[in-house]
């Protein structure tokens, strides 16, 4: 009875449609099924001037506008629901799937069916801002008492588009569904096979996938302790542009064979594939990307602790820039080609590690790569600024920071009560620094000096913000001349606030250079 009732509603809609067409304006109220890729709009409208707007509904409702699915200019602004197992062709001058539009299918809870297929044959252009979602439904966890479940992943549908220009800023997704798991009492669980992906074919003079995605991967097999299911069969992806193939900040994923043909390309983004056959400008792509580090430059002095902007210019006239690996200053990260803007990648690095060099390796989607490097880089540190011979005149430094200073026994200083373990006494402290921290944490204060002779001894003290209360100290009495290890260090647990560091020339024959580091461990 339900099926008969639906047919009656369709016939009634069709009769209403014929009457409204005679008046030159048509509105159809449609219905969509549940599940499978999102909601469905409930009305379709056609307007004059050769443009048909389809605001959502079933394929039969679209056929009510044109029984043979032939249109001048078709705009899909809702969800076009294709029937199960169907393979339809829409012939148009131009077709636009708006950002709210889509082509897909639906299924109920108990329906496990392969996705339908769609062919779009356009004489001019196809624009996809929304989505074509013909992916296979995934399998479920099946138990002996389960109902309306299926363990096996379903197959994705085929998507074929031909036009003069194809622009995809939305998505084309026809991956296979992943396999589920069989779980029966007394037996080990076992995985079921995934569904096959559909085939995707885009053929045009110009193809632009900027900001868009194509996902044609096979469904993975389900996992079980008694054995995993096999992956589904991998479909093919054909991207054929007789002139330009462009993809800026987009991506293509194919677990099977991918064919890319174009006279010229502009690609910044990953193309993932099982195997690839490429012909760019009539030749295969054996040329690595062009990569240049614009800044910094060779022999640059980098201020320690600064945020260093590394700018990299990169291009590839073949299969396009897949990724760039940036290494230096303790930084080692790989950036996708989608992060490149106008041919330039900018990476911000905290310069807190002395660099030996800076290098960038650019890799294209064929696997060709090239490296650009800088040499002669050095780190510039905060320099001591005299006079800094008292707590009130302490030099203000940042946190974290590294300071290069020089201390002499006859430097001006401040007589200060110092505590050496159980012994205390008033001594002159020559160099003073102050810093501020904004959270309770552990902090390391380290003093390194070369030791102009084996007797050199410089001591390190930490005070509160007044410089009167000692909070920490490091005073190794006898540096070991055999290994020249001249280091004093304080690990302190500090609350939010301002603190003062004092450096004392306990034994210095003439003058001594030192490096003071204030950092988190």
Give the pLDDT score at 17.
Answer: 31
- Assign 161 to helix, strand or coil: strand
Whether 244 and 306 map to the same domain: the answer is no
Whether 253 and 323 map to the same domain: the answer is no
* CATH number of domain containing 339: 2.60.40.10
Whether 81 and 166 map to the same domain: the answer is no
Nearest to 238, CA basis, from 263, 214, 213: 214
Round to the nearest angstrom and report the end-to-end CA distance of the chain.
Answer: 75
Give the pLDDT score at 479.
Answer: 52
Whether 280 and 141 map to the same domain: the answer is yes
CA 452, distance to chain mean position in Å, is: 51
Domain that holds residue 44: 1-108
Give the pLDDT score at 190.
Answer: 92
Q: How far lies 198's CA from each of 56, 105, 201, 237, 254, in Å?
A: 24, 14, 10, 9, 10
The one-digit pLDDT tens for each residue of the chain (521 residues) are 222 333 322 232 333 333 333 333 333 223 233 344 444 444 555 555 689 999 999 999 999 999 999 999 999 999 999 999 899 999 999 999 999 999 999 999 899 999 999 999 999 999 999 999 999 999 999 987 778 889 999 999 999 999 999 999 999 999 999 999 999 877 788 999 999 999 999 999 999 999 999 999 999 999 988 889 999 999 999 999 999 999 999 999 999 999 999 999 999 999 999 999 999 999 999 999 999 999 999 998 888 888 899 999 999 999 999 999 999 988 999 999 999 999 999 999 988 777 778 999 999 999 999 999 998 888 889 999 999 999 999 999 999 999 999 998 888 999 999 988 888 899 999 999 999 999 999 999 999 987 666 678 899 999 999 999 999 999 876 554 554 567 899 999 999 999 999 999 988 888 889 999 999 88
Beta-strand relationship, 331-336 and 321-328: antiparallel
Give the pLDDT score at 510.
Answer: 82
Whether 276 and 344 map to the same domain: the answer is no
Whether 227 and 346 map to the same domain: the answer is no
**Which residue do the tokens 């899909």 mark?**
76
Whether 216 and 297 map to the same domain: the answer is no
CA–CA separation, 234 and 155 (whole Å): 10
b/e per residue 224-249 (b: at least 16 CB within 10 A): beeebbbbbbbbbbbbbbeebbbbbb
Q: Residue 338 gets which letter from DSSP? A: G
Give the pLDDT score at 354.
Answer: 73
Residue 127 lies in a domain: no
**Structural domain ending residue among the three candidates 259, 284, 309:** 284
Nearest to 69, CA basis, from 78, 80, 77: 80
Residue 242 lies in a domain: yes
Whether 212 and 249 map to the same domain: the answer is yes
The string of DSSP letters for 321-384 reads: EEEEEEEETTEEEEEEGGG-BTTEEEEEEE--S--S-EEEEEEETTS-EEEEEE-S-EEE-EEP
Whether 251 and 312 map to the same domain: the answer is no
Question: How many domains does the structure of the chain reveal?
Answer: 4
Q: Other C-beta atoms within 10 Å of 138: how many?
A: 21
Whether 390 and 339 map to the same domain: the answer is no
Whether 183 and 201 map to the same domain: the answer is yes
Is 503 in contact with 407 (CB distance < 8 Å)?
A: yes
Whether 496 and 442 map to the same domain: the answer is yes
Residue 125 lies in a domain: no
**Which residue do the tokens 């590839």 mark?**
316
Is 395 in contact with 352 (CB distance < 8 Å)?
A: no
* CATH number of domain containing 419: 2.60.120.380
Residue 403 lies in a domain: yes
Residue 124 lies in a domain: no
């Amino acid at each position: 009875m339900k099926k008969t009732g639906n047919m009656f509603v369709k016939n009634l809609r069709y009769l209403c449609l014929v009457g409204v067409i005679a008046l030159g304006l048509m509105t159809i109220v449609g219905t969509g099924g549940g599940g499978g890729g999102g909601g469905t709009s409930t009305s379709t409208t056609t307007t004059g001037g050769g443009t048909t707007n389809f605001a959502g509904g079933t394929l039969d409702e679209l056929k009510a506008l044109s029984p043979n699915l032939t249109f001048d200019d078709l705009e899909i602004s809702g969800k076009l629901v294709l029937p199960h197992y169907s393979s339809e062709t829409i012939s148009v001058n131009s077709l636009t799937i708006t950002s709210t539009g889509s082509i897909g299918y639906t299924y109920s809870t108990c329906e496990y069916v392969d996705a339908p297929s769609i062919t779009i044959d356009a004489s001019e252009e196809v624009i996809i801002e929304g989505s074509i979602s013909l992916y296979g439904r995934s399998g479920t966890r099946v138990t002996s008492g389960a109902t309306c479940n299926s363990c096996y992943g379903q197959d994705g549908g085929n998507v074929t588009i031909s036009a003069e220009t194809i622009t995809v800023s939305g998505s084309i997704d026809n991956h296979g569904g992943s396999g589920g798991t069989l779980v029966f009492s007394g037996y080990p669980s076992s995985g079921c096979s995934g569904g096959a992906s559909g085939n995707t074919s885009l053929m045009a003079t110009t193809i632009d996938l900027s900001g868009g995605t194509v996902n044609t991967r096979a469904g993975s097999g389900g996992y079980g302790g008694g054995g995993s299911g096999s992956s589904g069969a991998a479909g093919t992806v054909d991207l054929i542009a007789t002139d330009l193939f462009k993809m800026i900040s987009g991506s293509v994923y194919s677990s099977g064979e991918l064919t890319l043909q174009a006279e010229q390309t502009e690609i910044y983004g990953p193309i993932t594939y099982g195997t690839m056959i490429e012909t760019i400008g009539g030749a295969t792509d054996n040329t690595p990307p062009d990569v240049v580090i614009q800044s910094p430059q060779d022999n640059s002095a980098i201020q320690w602790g600064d945020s260093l902007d590394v700018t990299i210019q990169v291009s590839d006239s073949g299969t396009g820039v897949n990724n760039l690996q940036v290494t230096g200053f303790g930084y080692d990260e790989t950036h996708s080609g989608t992060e490149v803007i106008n041919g330039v990648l900018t990476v911000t690095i905290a310069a807190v590690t002395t660099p030996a060099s800076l290098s960038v390796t650019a890799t294209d989607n064929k696997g060709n790569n090239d490296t650009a490097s800088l040499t002669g880089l050095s780190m510039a540190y905060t320099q001591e600024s005299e006079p800094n011979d008292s707590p009130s005149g302490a030099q203000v430094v940042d946190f974290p920071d590294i300071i290069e200073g020089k201390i002499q026994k006859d430097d001006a200083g401040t007589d200060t009560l110092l505590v050496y373990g159980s012994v205390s006494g008033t001594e002159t402290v020559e160099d003073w620094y102050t810093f501020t921290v904004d959270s309770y944490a552990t902090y390391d204060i380290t003093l390194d000096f070369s030791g102009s002779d084996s007797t050199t001894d410089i001591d390190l003290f930490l005070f509160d913000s007044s410089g009167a209360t000692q909070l920490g100290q490091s005073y190794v009495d006898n540096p070991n001349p055999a290994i020249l290890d001249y280091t004093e260090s304080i690990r302190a647990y500090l609350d939010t606030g301002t603190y003062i560091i004092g450096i004392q020339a306990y034994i210095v024959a003439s003058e001594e250079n030192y490096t003071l580091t204030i950092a988190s461990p």
